Structure 1
Amino acid sequence: MKKVLIIGCGYLGSHLANYYCLQGWAVKIAGRKSIHVNQLHVDVEFYEIDIKDANQLNNLVEKDDVVICATGSINATNVFEDVTGDINDFYISFINLLNECANKKVSKFVFLSSAGTVYGDNLSPARETDCLNPVNIYGLQKVYFENLIKIKQYESKQLPYLILRVSNPYGGFQNPRKNQGIIPVLISRAIRKEEFIFWGDVNSVRDFIYIDDFLEATYLTVEAQVDEVINIASGISTSIKQVIEIVQNEVGIDIQIIYKKSNNRIVLNNRLDNSKLKELIGYTPATTLSQGISTIVSNY
């Protein structure tokens, strides 16, 4: 039986664990105990650990595992003053993890990077070969971790890797009370008839991918590719203003939105090219944004 160890039991990690379990894999997932643990399939083994603790994490890594790093690590709103703490808490533990995976000879190390931040602003769809230009600390960390993985494999020849630059997944089980992901939060506010505070520019552009498409694309890519960097994205650019309009149309309620300017630098234009995903895997995400939002609303 194939084995996968998923690090991080949050939104993406928990969905991946269930998906792999349904494909017949032996699945272990490690991280903090959260609301997502309650959503895990009965056959998924959950280990409550501090992922910053190298000893706890190393004990779970086994030879021939596919290891998927699905933890968000630092907060997406972190600023320069947070870097020292981030290095102590997350950078060092990530380096230890790479060493352990190489020493144990895992079959593949999969890193979920952030297509929404590593490219910075781009008016044309970003390809994997484009120069990276993160504009915040979160994106900078993802770029640094990507390069650590590549260098470790180059030097050791014992860390087959796959770097997946994921856009903005939505759908499935999300906790709107955490204010994580604009789509579930908007839907929740609309249905509850609550005001929504939006920090940023409604004309900013994003790429959104439905959770089912993300899971299938990730699974197929992990099965077929190695030592590659691939965008996992819908390839469709949508403004926040358009997202708000789609949600309001699906729910049938106008959302009271309070607009505020963000103090943090944000990416205004994030457009992604997913042609490499199509070329290597033969997969094209099938769910339109309207279809995905409609599904969430109908299941609410």
Structure 2
Amino acid sequence: MNIVITGGNGFIGSHLLLQLAARGDALTVIDRGAPRSDIDWTGIRYLQGSFDDTTLLTRALEGADLVYHLASTTVPGTANLDPVADVQGNLLGTLALVNAMHQAGCERLVYLSSGGTVYGDLDLEKVDEQAPTRPISSYGIVKLAIERYLLMHERTGSLKPVILRASNPYGARQGKLGLQGLVSTAIDRISSGLPLQIWGDGSAVRDYVYICDLVELMEKAGFSTLCGVYNAGSGHGTSVRQIIDEVAGALNMQPKLEHVSARAFDVSRVVLDVSRASRDFAWYPRTELTAGIRATVQAFQSA
């Protein structure tokens, strides 16, 4: 199969890339950055540039059977700073991608949305795909708008999309600059003996999914014939403070914590119900949190 991955050089994209490469598929990556040095790119076509570049897209999509759209020009912590750029880079960029897919005759798309932001603050123990969507950040609003456009194209028969609302993935090769990814940031700061900032009191609850489990779902979803919206998480909630304790335990070090004011765009709790994905794709997250964090610590220490 001929597969295109936007953002294939990133944390999630690189794991998906290796998973698909093991299958023997023909792979094309579109990414703004230079190829990372910890991946063997032999046999993989790498196109450096933006996913809304029509000339680049024409080259990338020729003969494509499936597109994984993972690229994003923002993260939750930066999108609110410039909502116009968020809309231009992500919403309009995705519409350009969809148009290029239509021109190339490629209908199958897997879009990585955000289970952590599209629902907003709901007073629910777990949220399933039928829960209200009330995003409180530009990141979540734009992700949801992209979802709606993709579903519109499904109704008109021009696209066969699977939308995966991913929770908070973690694992090897995740960035550690603090913009996104509590686990990797905590590993980096605690192991370096540096203070770790906590937004609020550390009680915010999130759903953390190990990268290998998420990538397994992405593969199953892409190679299925199903369309629609699916939650992609662990199905379990963990507070920020619990994550820090798990990381500190794996490192056998005491964390230095620095509490700062909570951010207005952070939801207080979101835990995903993943039963629909489990049923339709015969998938379920298998990696328990402690084991996943210890594996991530080992990967960071050996990098």
- TM-score with structure 2 setting the length: 0.92
Q: Which piece of structure 1 moves more, 223-232 or 212-221?
A: 223-232
1:141 aligned onto 2:146: no
1:6 aligned onto 2:9: no
CA distance in 2, matches of 1:121, 1:268: 7
Is the alpha carbon distance of 1:201 and 1:69 closer, same or farther for their aligned partners in structure 2, counting shifts above 3 Å?
farther
Paired AA for residue 238 in structure 2: T
CA RMSD of aligned residues (A): 1.9
Q: What is the 5 A alignment of 1:49-198?
A: 49-78=49-78, 82-122=82-122, 123-155=124-156, 157-177=157-177, 179-198=179-198
CA distance in 1, matches of 2:79, 2:227: 31
User: Does structure 2 conserve the Cα–Cα contact (< 8 Å) formed by 1:17 and 1:40?
Assistant: no
Count of aligned positions: 298
CA distance in 1, matches of 2:80, 2:182: 25
CA distance in 1, matches of 2:200, 2:155: 40
List per-residue Cα deviations over 1:154-189 (Å, max 9, x = no partner): 22x121111111111110212313543010111111
1:283 aligned onto 2:246: no
User: Does structure 1 conserve the Cα–Cα contact (< 8 Å) formed by 2:51 and 2:97?
Assistant: no
Deviation at 1:90, TM superposition (A): 3.3
Give unpaired runs (5+ residues) of structure 2: none
Paired AA for residue 31 in structure 2: G
User: Does structure 2 conserve the Cα–Cα contact (< 8 Å) formed by 1:207 and 1:234?
Assistant: yes
CA distance in 1, matches of 2:240, 2:100: 41
Who is 2:272 aligned against? 272
Task: List structure 1 segments (4+ residues) > 6 angstroms apart after TM superposition.
Answer: none
List per-residue Cα deviations over 1:140-161 (Å, max 9, x = no partner): 0000000001112222x12111
User: Does structure 1 conserve the Cα–Cα contact (< 8 Å) formed by 2:58 and 2:104?
Assistant: no
CA distance in 2, matches of 1:92, 1:173: 29
List per-residue Cα deviations over 1:238-267 (Å, max 9, x = no partner): 111111111111111111010101343211
- TM-score with structure 1 setting the length: 0.93
Is the alpha carbon distance of 1:201 and 1:137 closer, same or farther for their aligned partners in structure 2, counting shifts above 3 Å?
farther
CA distance in 1, matches of 2:28, 2:79: 33
Is the alpha carbon distance of 1:195 and 1:78 closer, same or farther for their aligned partners in structure 2, counting shifts above 3 Å?
closer
CA distance in 1, matches of 2:226, 2:106: 13
User: Does structure 2 conserve the Cα–Cα contact (< 8 Å) formed by 1:78 and 1:137?
Assistant: no
Paired AA for residue 3 in structure 2: V
Deviation at 1:222, TM superposition (A): 1.6
CA distance in 2, matches of 1:29, 1:104: 16
CA distance in 2, matches of 1:26, 1:267: 39
Paired AA for residue 125 in structure 2: S
1:246 aligned onto 2:246: yes
Deviation at 1:128, TM superposition (A): 0.9
Deviation at 1:73, TM superposition (A): 2.7
User: Does structure 1 conserve the Cα–Cα contact (< 8 Å) formed by 2:205 and 2:270?
Assistant: yes
Who is 2:24 aligned against? 24
Q: 3-state SS of the aligned residue for 2:230? A: strand
Q: Percent identity?
A: 27
CA distance in 1, matches of 2:202, 2:80: 25
Q: Which piece of structure 1 moves more, 96-105 or 70-79?
A: 70-79
Paired AA for residue 6 in structure 2: I
Paired AA for residue 25 in structure 2: W
CA distance in 1, matches of 2:287, 2:75: 29
